Chain A
Amino acid sequence: MVTDRSKLGFYLLISPLLLWLVTLIILPHIGLFAVSMSEKVGVREYETGFGNYAVFFNEPLYWRTFARTALMSISTTVLTLLLGFPIAYYIAKLTRGRTKTTLFLMCLIPFWVSELVRTFGWMILLRETGILSNFLQYIGILAEPVEFLYNDAAIMVGLVYTSILFMIVPLVTTLDSLDDSLIEAGYDLGGSGFSILREIVIPHAMPGIVSGCIVVFMLSLGNYLTPILLGGKDSLWFTGLIYTQFITRFNWELGSAFGFLLLGLSSAVVFLGLKLSRQSLSNTMGR
């Protein structure tokens, strides 16, 4: 079928793709890496080297923030999976027809709204003069206003809230495709709820679990709004450091190095997740 005309069509179709990928994805990342490898020695004078990366490893504030961001993102991912799985299972397996559509829609709507609005909601709820503090005083648990904002728990609440949809949607999709008769067969052969979950439901849902975890981890790692607004100025989130280097300090070289480290971490976790679960990127994300 390789006629001249279809060849022309092929080139017409592939050029926007290449233009997009090369100018907006590939070249910028090469550029980012190049900048991260250049050290400023004088005005408009640069040398190539690992100096910016050395700065990162020699300054405890930087690498501790990095580690803290990674650990909290991992906790967010695990928490989101634990909280989201029962909900996804409920929607996929225990409801039918209209109820199912409604519940699913109720999950979706909050995520069509800007993350800023969602975070703003949590600020109104959690701050010292907020709803939670007032409510707890009203029912007599607290004697005076308490600040629930600006701590790690608040960051986690916000991060889980912001990313849970991206766990629930892929889980609902994969669980929906699990035939009820497989679960029935498991019971029929003497299985208990737990063993069926472990041997049948979870193996089947694995692609959904992996893609959910990858997206949630990445979103948390790269999040800026939630940690800054709910965790306060000293929330020590790595994207905050990048922002500071780029916009406040105008030290793009160090900022690029930070950016590359974050990219390296997120790619490594995605790669590990795919390898451990024996899934491929196209299978888990390309749906």
Chain B
Amino acid sequence: MPFTADLVCRDLTKEFKGFRAVDHVSFDVPQGSFFSILGPSGCGKTTLLRMIAGFQFPTSGDLLIKGKSMIDVGPNKRPVSMVFQHLALFPMMDIGKNIGFGLRQRGVPAAEIKQRVGRVLERVGLPGIENRQVSQLSGGQKQRVAIARCMVLEPDVLLLDEPLGALDLKLREHMKIELKALQAEFNTTFVYITHDQSEALVMSDNIAVMNKGKFDQIGTAKELYYEPANAFVAGFVGDANRFEGKVTAINDRLVTIVTDGGITRQAQAAAELPIVGQRALAFVRPEAIQLSKTAYDSATHPNASAQIVDSVLFNGANSVVLLRDPQSGETLHAGLPQTGDFLGLGKGETIHTNWHATQARCFVAEGH
């Protein structure tokens, strides 16, 4: 059974003078799902979102909401609502007027507006604040009011433009959970853009990783993390150690690389199989690196090596140890389990590391 997509983009492209901000992007977002677009600043995600909202006119391509093309529809006629980066709550109106704004534009009778505003405020957990001024609210309350202002219009798609960016860390962590809960409560399609991977990973059903105007990969958080489609995704999503070198041998999908520092590493080819002699990149997650006080047998453990501790970054369960290869000087960071074995680890000590080649990903280096 074909699922119903709330939002469909087909080959959407936006060019500015001599610069392509969004480059043939295609995707669809199923009804009721939380879709994130994750990318570094300047990757074109804001332009893409503003095209969906109607504040940028695409150079080419099509954009459909509930099956209808939105290209010739003005921003004030589209069934999408947007939570702006700095929320854009109207300071000249109180909260009730703010939330009722969209309904007033539609000509809804005053009594019904009052009722619906009251109801949506209850749903976001802020009942009875209609008469307060915007400046009297806390950051998190403003956030919820901004969402309520959109949701009261029952849009098909809610767009969110990095709305958590302005909040402090603790509130941001809290709002992540709350946003996800609100999305479930309203069962509306959310399209969320962010440069913060943890926001995207925690909240989203599907994530698109955007780079230089293109979608590099669309998938669930797990897929992006464990099966990155290219080197950019592997490096951008989650934490990873990165090696670059020349391919010396290929055995099935197992690629052997000699790094520029002269260290031999093995990793599994992710997508395209490199050719011997080509340059390639390998990524390994810090938590995939095993630590040991005794040496590994290098015959059976091709990625084993002895490392010197540069420093220990204690951060509770997320503690990390920074290591340096005594021969090549290449650095490596590994997760440091706080389970006892390595509690006394100090700078300058030698420790042995290893990882399974299947837990490392290898990609052909671009431009070679």
Q: Does A touch B (CB under 8 Å) in the complex?
A: yes
B74 touches A185 (CB 8 A): no
Q: Count chain A CB atoms within 10 A of each CB in B77, B104, B105 and give the residue with the most.
A: B105
* 13 A-B contacts (beta carbon < 8 Å): A181-B85, A182-B88, A184-B53, A184-B82, A185-B82, A186-B101, A189-B149, A190-B77, A192-B76, A199-B90, A199-B93, A199-B101, A203-B92
A191 interface residue (CB < 8 Å to B): yes
Does chain A have a CB within 8 A of B75? Answer: yes
When distances are taken between beta carbons in the complex, the residues of chain B under 8 Å from A188 are 53-54, 75-76, 80-82
- What chain B residues lie within 8 Å of A182 (beta carbons)? 88, 90
B91 to chain A, nearest CB (A): 8
- Number of interchain pairs (Cβ within 8 Å): 64
Nearest CB in chain B: distance from A93 CB, A = 14
Q: How far is the CA of A142 from the CA of B101 in the complex (A)?
A: 53
Interface string of A64-105 (1 = CB under 8 A from B): 000000000000000000000000000000000000000000
A21 within 8 A of B: no
Q: B84: which of A181, A190, A192, A200 is its contact (CB, 8 Å)? A: A181
Given known pairs A181-B86, A182-B88, A184-B55, the reply for A189 and B93 (CB within 8 Å) is no
Q: Does B170 sit within 8 A of A, measured CB to CB?
A: no
Contact of A189 among B54, B85, B153 (CB under 8 A): B153
| Closest Cβ–Cβ distance, residue A205 to chain B (whole Å) | 10
Chain B residues near A199 (CB-CB < 8 A): 90, 92-93, 101
A184 partner residues in chain B, CB cutoff 8 A:
53, 55, 75, 82, 84, 88
B106 at the interface (CB under 8 A from A): yes
A204 within 8 A of B: yes
Contact of B86 among A179, A192, A200, A204 (CB under 8 A): A179
Contacts of A179 in B (CB 8 A): 86, 88
Residue A48 at the chain B interface, CB threshold 8 Å:
no
Q: Could you say which of B53, B82, B105, B150 contacts A195, with CB atoms under 8 Å apart?
A: B105
Q: In the complex, what residue of chain A is closest to B159 when comparing beta carbons? A: A188
A187 within 8 A of partner (CB): yes
Closest to A206 in B: B92
Interface set of A (CB-CB < 8 Å, partner B): 179, 181-182, 184-192, 195, 199-200, 203-204
Q: Are B153 and A204 in contact (CB under 8 A)?
A: no
- Pick the contact of B106 from A181, A190, A200 — CB < 8 Å? A190
Q: Are A190 and B153 in contact (CB under 8 A)?
A: yes
Closest to B75 in A: A187
Tell me if B61 is interfacial: C-beta within 8 Å of chain A: no
Whether B76 pairs with A190 at a CB distance below 8 angstroms is: yes
Q: Which 9 A-B pairs have the closest CB atoms?
A: A189-B102, A185-B88, A203-B92, A190-B105, A181-B88, A187-B76, A187-B75, A181-B84, A188-B82
How far in angstroms is the closest Cβ of chain A from B210? 22
Q: Which of B150-188 contact A (CB under 8 A)?
A: 150, 153
Which residues from chain A contact B86 at a C-beta distance below 8 Å? 179, 181
16 additional A-B residue pairs with CB within 8 Å, beyond A186-B101, A188-B80:
A179-B88, A181-B84, A182-B90, A184-B84, A185-B88, A185-B90, A187-B74, A188-B53, A188-B82, A189-B150, A190-B105, A191-B76, A191-B101, A192-B76, A199-B93, A203-B92
| B108: min CB distance to chain A, Å | 11
Tell me the smallest distance from the CB of B155 to a CB of chain A, in Å.
Answer: 9
Of all chain A residues, the one with the shortest Cβ separation from B78 is A188
Closest to B86 in A: A181
Across the interface, name the chain B residue whose C-beta is closest to A183. B88
Q: A191 to chain B: which residues have CB within 8 Å?
A: 76, 101-102, 105
B102 contacts across to A, CB distance below 8 A: 189-191
In the complex, which residues of chain A have a beta carbon less than 8 angstroms from the beta carbon of B105?
189-192, 195
Task: Chain B residues near A203: list those with CB within 8 A.
Answer: 92-93
Report the bound CA distance from A199 to B100 in whole Å.
12
When the two chains form their complex, are residues B153 and A200 in contact, meaning their CB atoms are under 8 A apart?
no
Most chain B CB within 10 A, of A187, A190, A200, is at: A190
Q: A200 to B90, Cβ gap below 8 A?
A: yes
Instruction: Determine the residue in chain B with the shortest Cβ distance to A200.
Output: B90
Cα of A287 to Cα of B144 in the assembled complex, Å: 35
Residue from the set A182, A185, A200 with the largest chain B CB neighbour count within 10 Å: A185
Closest to A191 in B: B105
Minimum distance in angstroms from A233 CB to a CB of chain B: 48
Contacts of B196-228 to chain A: CB distance below 8 A: none
Q: CB-nearest residue of chain A relative to B50?
A: A184
> Which of chain B's residues 64-101 have a Cβ closer than 8 Å to chain A?
74-77, 80-82, 84-86, 88, 90-93, 101
Q: Which residues from B are CB-within-8-Å of A189?
A: 76, 81, 101-102, 105, 149-150, 153
